Amino acid sequence: MAKTEIQVLDKTFISALSAAEINAAVEKVSDQLSRDYADKNPIFLMILNGAFMFASDLLKRTTFPAQIASIKLSSYEGMLTSGKVREVIGLTEDISNRHVIILEDIVDTGTTMHGLIPELKHKGAASVEVCAFLHKPEALIFEDARPKYIGFEIHNLFVIGYGLDYNGYGRNLPEIYILKQD
């Protein structure tokens, strides 16, 4: 299959993961979650904005009772990480004694998850696991943020599509694209 190039704002991106590959990975993760949480009544905690496509596709495939909540977090100021997580839209559901599955678009350094996981445990979660569509193991700084459930492990490259963006654009693309290196 030939690689497709697209232009998003001032950057060129090259196709990396097709919609079919994404669907297969989501199905694999759904099967893993169904085995592990079938009798646990978990709550899925979707991280906005990036995880919305992954969460939607994944949750349609789950076969067990679960609740869904969402929060919006940020550890970035412009193009750089601040190193601190600030909550933008908060969690309103009671998670006491609940198994929480965080749905994240991508885990790279782990800064966001490193800040969020202790907060959820402090609120009384019975367990907290991270389920990430993409994981960049080369970039991971915080070991406690390593996802248990992963759609794809990728190199430390800038990616867009399937919920991930470049300056707010590209989230709606059904495939994953990597930034073209000149």
Q: What is the pLDDT of residues 113-162, one digit of tens each?
A: 998 999 899 999 999 999 999 999 999 999 999 999 999 999 999 999 99
The rounded mean pLDDT for the chain is: 90
pLDDT of residue 133: 98
Q: What is the pTM (predicted TM-score) of this model?
A: 0.91
Mean pLDDT of 62-81: 73
Answer yes or no: 108 catalytic.
Answer: yes
Q: Is the pLDDT of residue 75 over 80?
A: no
Angle in degrees, CA 94, 39, 72, rounded to 5: 35
- Catalytic, out of 108, 144, 165, 182: 108
Give φ, ψ of 99 to 5 degrees.
Answer: -85, 115
CA gap 3, 158 in Å, rounded? 17
CA gap 31, 98 in Å, rounded? 20
pLDDT of residue 3: 84
Omega of the bond leading into 97 within 30 degrees of 0 (cis)? no
Report which of 62, 63, 84 is spatially closest to residue 73, judged by C-alpha positions. Answer: 84
Percent with pLDDT over 90 in the chain: 80
Confidence at 91, pLDDT banded by 50, 70, 90? confident
